Amino acid sequence: MELKQSLSTHLEAEKPLRRYGAVEETAWKAEGLGRTQLDIISMAETTMMPEEIELEMAKIQRLREVLVRRESELRFMMDDIQLCKDIMDLKQELQNLVAIPEEEKTKLQKQREDELIQKIHRLVQKRDFLVDDAEVERLRLPGREEGGAPT
């Protein structure tokens, strides 16, 4: 809204609006300006005070921090979901092997059973480390309350 108002104010001014980097403005003309130098062209809106710019920059920085924190949380959640899915798949395969009576199992099935137990164990350890990392990250980043909601 502020931007639209400032643009409309610029458009209504007597002097035509110069756009930063506009192709049609590359050949600047000093005549008709009543000055010996070219106009100074700035990317900043002339209607904003430096204090207003600093406030908006601070708001943007806080928003960026919140978004980075949320992205980190979502990445941890995605990794956790994938690990849980992998663990469940391996457990299902292990249950199928365990359902076979011991005397009917082949040597290959017994080896696979042991492999599955080891894989599940490794994935559970990996998930534990992930949960610990997520907790450390949550405590490290500022702006978090105990409930886990951003401030």
Does residue 38 or residue 75 have the better pLDDT?
A: 75
pLDDT at position 37 is: 43
Query: Is the whole-model pTM more than 0.95?
Result: no
pLDDT at position 112 is: 95
User: What's the DSSP call for residue 44?
Assistant: S
Asked if 84 and 77 touch (Cβ cutoff 8 Å), the reply is: no
Q: Name the 3-class secondary structure at 4.
A: helix
User: What's the DSSP call for residue 21?
Assistant: T
Q: From the DSSP assignment, how many helices (H) and strands (E) are in the chain?
A: 3, 0
Question: What residues are paired with 144 via a beta bridge?
Answer: 150
Does residue 116 or residue 17 have the better pLDDT?
A: 116
Q: Name the 3-class secondary structure at 29.
A: coil
